C-alpha cells in the first residue's frame, strides 16, 4: 500500500523547470529517501506534498486524499521539517513547543506529555528553557523536529534535516528516525548525503533535473550494477577524444560493463568489473594500444556509483556544476548593474 503517490508532476519557476514529470510512490510505514543535488527538485516536490506550493499540473495523493483538493485533511496527517529552520528568537524552546501545540489544538494534558516525551528523547533538558536566539544549529534542528512530531503525525516530511549539523545532533536525529520507522510512521526524507540515505532508507529514489531516474532499495540498486567499481585515468588530464578511445577499448574487454566517461573529473573512466582478474589484465590491454595506467581505484559499489551510472556524473560533480551555474548567474547580474 502506497501512502504517497505523485503522478506526472510538473512545476516551473519562470523559465526554470523544477519538476519535469515526476512520478513517485512511497509505501506506508517506510522510511523513503530522496537523493539528489541541490536544485534537483526535491524541495519543490516536498512543498507540494505539504500543500505549501501548487504544481502546474499532475496528481498528488497522501493517505488516499487528493492533496490539491483536500488540503486541510492532508495537513492534519503530516509533520513538516523544512530545510531552513524558522524559530522565534525571543521565546524559549519550551514556549515554542507550547505555542506549536496550541496551533494544533492539542489537549493540554496530551500536549504537556508530548512535550516532555520529546524533550527526553531528543536530549533537550539542559537548554529547552533558554531563549531560542541562543541556540546552536543542532539545538534548533532538534527543536524544529520536535515541533513537527508534536501531534504524532502519520507522515513526517524532512527536507535536508541534518545539513551542517554536528555529529552528536546527527546521531540523535538518526536514532529517532529509526525508532519512528519501527513504529510504522511513514517518513519521506530528502537529502544529498549519500551515507544518510544508505543508512536510513528502506527504499529510495534518485532525482535529477526534476524527475526520478532510479528507484528501489539501496542495496538492490547497488547490486544491480553487477560488479565492483573501477575508476581509471590514462593521464592526469585527458581530453574527450582520448577518453572516448579508451572507452571503446575497455568496452570490448570481457568482464567489463557500464563504462562511463566522467567529464568533470578530467575525463576519467568509470566502469564495472566482474572479477579481480579483469583488473590484473587491464594494463596489458591498454599497453597494446599505447595507453598507460596513470591512476586506478577499485571499490565496492556505492550509491554514488548508482548516481554516476544513471547520470554520467557523481553527486559531488552535480553539486559543483549547479554551484558554478549559480555563481555565473550572480556574476552576470553584477556586471549588468
User: 48 with 171, same domain?
Assistant: yes
At which of 171, 195, 221 does a domain end? 221
Distance CA 91, CA 98 (A): 10
In a domain, 310, yes or no: no
93 within 8 A of 128, measured Cβ to Cβ: yes
In a domain, 261, yes or no: yes
Q: Which residues contact 69 (CB under 8 A, 6 or more apart)?
A: none
pLDDT of residue 260: 86
pLDDT of residue 50: 95
Domain that holds residue 255: 227-300
Grid coordinates of 168 = 552528536
pLDDT of residue 166: 85
User: 143 with 22, same domain?
Assistant: yes
In a domain, 149, yes or no: yes
pLDDT in tens, 239-275: 889 999 999 999 889 888 888 888 877 888 988 888 8
In a domain, 283, yes or no: yes
Q: Which residues contact 27 (CB under 8 A, 6 or more apart)?
A: 1, 2, 3, 186, 202, 203
User: 292 with 144, same domain?
Assistant: no
* pTM: predicted TM-score of the whole model, two decimal places: 0.82
238 within 8 A of 306, measured Cβ to Cβ: no
User: 183 with 58, same domain?
Assistant: yes
At which of 194, 221, 248 does a domain end? 221
User: 237 with 211, same domain?
Assistant: no
Write the secondary structure of 291-322 as one string of H (helix), E (strand) and C (coil). CCCCEEEEECCCHHHHHHHHHCCCHHHHHHHH
User: 283 with 169, same domain?
Assistant: no
Regions of the chain short of the pLDDT cut 50: 328
Q: Which of 64, 27, 6, 28 is nearest to 207 (CA)?
A: 6
User: 249 with 115, same domain?
Assistant: no
Number of domains in the chain: 2
User: 140 with 279, same domain?
Assistant: no
203 within 8 A of 27, measured Cβ to Cβ: yes
Question: According to DSSP H, which parts of the chain are helical?
Answer: 42-49, 71-77, 93-103, 108-121, 137-149, 167-182, 194-200, 218-223, 240-251, 276-288, 303-311, 315-336
In a domain, 10, yes or no: yes
User: 185 with 36, same domain?
Assistant: yes
pLDDT of residue 278: 86
pLDDT of residue 322: 64
User: 56 with 183, same domain?
Assistant: yes
At which of 221, 248, 274 does a domain end? 221
In a domain, 309, yes or no: no
Q: Within a 10 A sphere around the Cβ of 248, how many other Cβ atoms? A: 11
Instruction: Please give the full DSSP string across 8-53, using - where no structure is assigned.
Output: EEEEEETTEEEEEEEEEEEETT-EEEEE--TTSSHHHHHHHHTTSS
pLDDT of residue 327: 52
pLDDT in tens, 133-183: 999 988 999 999 999 999 999 999 999 988 888 888 899 999 999 999 999
Q: Which of 315, 314, 268 is nearest to 295 (CA)?
A: 268
pLDDT of residue 324: 59
User: 174 with 290, same domain?
Assistant: no
CATH number of the domain enclosing 257:
3.30.70.100
CATH number of the domain enclosing 185:
3.40.50.300
In a domain, 168, yes or no: yes
User: 77 with 216, same domain?
Assistant: yes
Amino acid at each position: 500500500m502506497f501512502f504517497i503517490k505523485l503522478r506526472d508532476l510538473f512545476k516551473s519557476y519562470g523559465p526554470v523547470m523544477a519538476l519535469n514529470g515526476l512520478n513517485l510512490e512511497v509505501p506506508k510505514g517506510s522510511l523513503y529517501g530522496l537523493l539528489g543535488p541541490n536544485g534537483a527538485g526535491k524541495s519543490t516536490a516536498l512543498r507540494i506534498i505539504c500543500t505549501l506550493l501548487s504544481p502546474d499540473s499532475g496528481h498528488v495523493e497522501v493517505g488516499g486524499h487528493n492533496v490539491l483538493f483536500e488540503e486541510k485533511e492532508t495537513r492534519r496527517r503530516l509533520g513538516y521539517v523544512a530545510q531552513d529552520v524558522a524559530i522565534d528568537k525571543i521565546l524559549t524552546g519550551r514556549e515554542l513547543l507550547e505555542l506549536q501545540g496550541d496551533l494544533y489544538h492539542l489537549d493540554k494534558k496530551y500536549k504537556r506529555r508530548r512535550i516532555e516525551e520529546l524533550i527526553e528523547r531528543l536530549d533537550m533538558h539542559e537548554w529547552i528553557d533558554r531563549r531560542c536566539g541562543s541556540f546552536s544549529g543542532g539545538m534548533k534542528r532538534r527543536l524544529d523536529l520536535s515541533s513537527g512530531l508534536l501531534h504524532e503525525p502519520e507522515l513526517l516530511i524532512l527536507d535536508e534535516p541534518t545539513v551542517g549539523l554536528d555529529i552528536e545532533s546527527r546521531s540523535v536525529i538518526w536514532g529517532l528516525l529509526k525508532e519512528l520507522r519501527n513504529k510504522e510512521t511513514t517518513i519521506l526524507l530528502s537529502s544529498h548525503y549519500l551515507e544518510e540515505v544508505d543508512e536510513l532508507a528502506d527504499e529510495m529514489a534518485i532525482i535529477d533535473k526534476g524527475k526520478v531516474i532510479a528507484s528501489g532499495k539501496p542495496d538492490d540498486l547497488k547490486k544491480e550494477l553487477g560488479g565492483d567499481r573501477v575508476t581509471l585515468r590514462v593521464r592526469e588530464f585527458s581530453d574527450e577524444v582520448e577518453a572516448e578511445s579508451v572507452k571503446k577499448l575497455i568496452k570490448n574487454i570481457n568482464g567489463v560493463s557500464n563504462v562511463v566517461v566522467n567529464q568533470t573529473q578530467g575525463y576519467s573512466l568509470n566502469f564495472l568489473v566482474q572479477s579481480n582478474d579483469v583488473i590484473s589484465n587491464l594494463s596489458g590491454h591498454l599497453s597494446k594500444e599505447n595507453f598507460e595506467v596513470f591512476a586506478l581505484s577499485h571499490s565496492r559499489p556505492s550509491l554514488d556509483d548508482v548516481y554516476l551510472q544513471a547520470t554520467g556524473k557523481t553527486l559531488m560533480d552535480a553539486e559543483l556544476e549547479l554551484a558554478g551555474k549559480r555563481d555565473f548567474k550572480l556574476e552576470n547580474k553584477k556586471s549588468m548593474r
